[in-house]
Chain A
Amino acid sequence: KAGVTQTPRYLIKTRGQQVTLSCSPISGHRSVSWYQQTPGQGLQFLFEYFSETQRNKGNFPGRFSGRQFSNSRSEMNVSTLELGDSALYLCASRYLAGRGTEAFFGQGTRLTVV
């Protein structure tokens, strides 16, 4: 069974540009959550999607947005990039039924804003 796949692994963007990151969850998982991790920081929750609907949202500005497709794949978009957006962006998928609360993470996308 394939794990969570995030693309791309590494990305370098210029301040002011926008970026789209992709996450393919484990087959059968309908929940996808996104997290931002900066050096020395924990996992800052961005948002969670379930069945194409955003069900939870963290405290990030509106420049951070996401969506989920009917096949459960999710994308995260950051517009008007700032230097402080440089981080490891992680997505995690969950089944969300029975004991399906366990979240499985992808390897992350390392975004560098210059």
Chain B
Amino acid sequence: GQQLNQSPQSMFIQEGEDVSMNCTSSSIFNTWLWYKQDPGEGPVLLIALYKAGELTSNGRLTAQFGITRKDSFLNISASIPSDVGIYFCAGQSNTDKLIFGTGTRLQVFP
């Protein structure tokens, strides 16, 4: 099935560092969503973006809806051990179909 390109595939960082990840598509999307999944659990919605150029924050997390509508970015500042998990982006097309990224696995070392 169709999936969005998400990079990097995995990240190993030290506690306190900032993290950046992005998602790109060949198609235009109307909505971008970012999720975090803890091991063995379902993904949890972190941030939703509805407008090109929109920048939204949720605590230490900041996400942006790319102005071309074909990409989105997620930044995590001052990472902590509980940030460990898999981060997924998702884009919604004008057909309401939700397409997920391939995921970025984040590991934080103390």
A110 touches B40 (CB 8 A): yes
Query: What's the Cα separation between A113 and B98 when bound, in Å?
Result: 29
Query: What's the Cα separation between A35 and B3 when bound, in Å?
Result: 12
B43 touches A90 (CB 8 A): yes
Known: A58-B1, A59-B1, A102-B48. A88 touches B102 (CB 8 A): no
Query: What's the Cα separation between A59 and B31 when bound, in Å?
Result: 24
B98 touches A103 (CB 8 A): yes
Q: A102-B33, A106-B42 are in contact. List 18 more A-B contacts (CB 8 A).
A: A33-B98, A42-B100, A42-B103, A43-B88, A43-B100, A43-B103, A44-B1, A45-B99, A58-B1, A92-B42, A99-B31, A99-B48, A101-B92, A101-B96, A103-B90, A107-B41, A108-B40, A110-B40
B60 within 8 A of A: no
| B interface residue count range (under 10 / 10 to 19 / 20 to 34 / 35 or more) | 20 to 34
Interface string of B75-105 (1 = CB under 8 A from A): 0000000000000101010001111111100
Q: Which residue of B3, B50, B103 is within 8 Å of A99 (Cβ)?
A: B50
Contacting residues of chain A (62-81) with chain B, CB-CB under 8 angstroms: none
Interface residues, chain A, with chain B CB atoms under 8 Å away:
4, 6, 33, 35, 42-45, 48, 56, 58-59, 88, 90, 92, 94, 96, 99, 101-108, 110
Interface residues, chain B, with chain A CB atoms under 8 Å away:
1, 3, 30-31, 33, 35, 40-45, 48, 50, 88, 90, 92, 96-103
B40 touches A88 (CB 8 A): yes
Question: A48 → chain B, closest Cβ, in Å?
Answer: 8
Question: B97 → chain A, closest Cβ, in Å?
Answer: 6
Query: What's the Cα separation between A92 and B42 when bound, in Å?
Result: 9
A105 touches B100 (CB 8 A): no
Known: A105-B42, A106-B42. A56 touches B97 (CB 8 A): yes
Question: A99 → chain B, closest Cβ, in Å?
Answer: 6
Q: Which residue of A45, A88, A101 is within 8 Å of B31 (Cβ)?
A: A101
From B98, which residue of chain A is reached at the shortest CB distance? A103
Q: Which residues of A contact B50 (CB under 8 A)?
A: 99
B43 touches A105 (CB 8 A): yes
